[in-house]
Each structure stands twice: as structure tokens, then as C-alpha cells.
Amino acid sequence: MNLIFALLWLILGVAGLVGAWLYPESQAFRIGGSGMPIGLLALCFVAYNLVRWYAYRAARRQRQAHAEPPPWRRPRRERDHDLPPDPTFDFTDRASPPKGPDQAAR
């Protein structure tokens, strides 16, 4: 929507600047008694709408980036949970019971 408004203000601003350039003696294309062309005010509105459009777009991208997982993270495969643990990588010593503090001194 802000891009549409920016385009509308751009058309009006260019028309105001061209009118002020073609008819310098006319006050129709000037703001009050200051002599400033009305097209400059319209171009300020163009800049305002473009900044609003860009800010909205950047905020939307940031929200989407936080909502989705990073692309380098792969989901875990379900089949890994179904397999029993590999006994080759079991480094626990099951033959001897764990020693308590009173048995360690003996």
C-alpha cells in the first residue's frame, strides 16, 4: 500500500515541479507566499512512504527469519530412535559395581 501511495505522490510531485518550472509566475504551483514549489512537499511524502514500505518489509523478513529454523539444521531422522544402542560404543564397566565412599579407602 505504501508503494502505491509513493507512486501517487511521485506523480503529483513531478507534475507540481513541472508546473512550477513551466509557469514560474503562477502561484498555483507554489506553497503560500513562500515561493516553494508544491512538488517538493509531494516528494517529501514520496520519501516518507518509501521509508515506511522498507521498514515494514524489513520487519516482516525479521519475523519470518525467527519463525523458521535455520537451513543448515536438519531434522532428526526418526529411524535413529528405533535402533538399539551400539554395544561397541558402550564404555561403562558393568562387571564391577560402583565403589562408594566407604569402599574406596579399602
Q: Pick the residue with more confidence: 8 or 66?
A: 8
DSSP string, 48-82: HHHHHHHHHHHHHHHHHHHHSPPTTPPPPPTHHHH
Q: Pick the residue with more confidence: 33 or 104?
A: 33
Residue 47: CB atoms within 10 A of its CB come to 13
19 contact partners, CB below 8 Å, separation of at least 6: 26, 28, 29, 39
What rounded mean pLDDT belongs to the chain? 82
Q: Is the pTM of this model over 0.75?
A: no
pLDDT of amino acid 98:
58
Task: From residue 15, give the alpha-carbon distance in Å to each of 20, 49, 70, 96.
Answer: 9, 18, 48, 92
Q: How confident is the model at residue 17 (pLDDT cuts 50, 70, 90)?
A: very high
pLDDT single digits (tens) 21-66? 998 888 888 888 788 898 999 999 999 999 999 999 999 988 887 7
Alpha-carbon gap, residue 28 to 104, rounded angstroms: 101
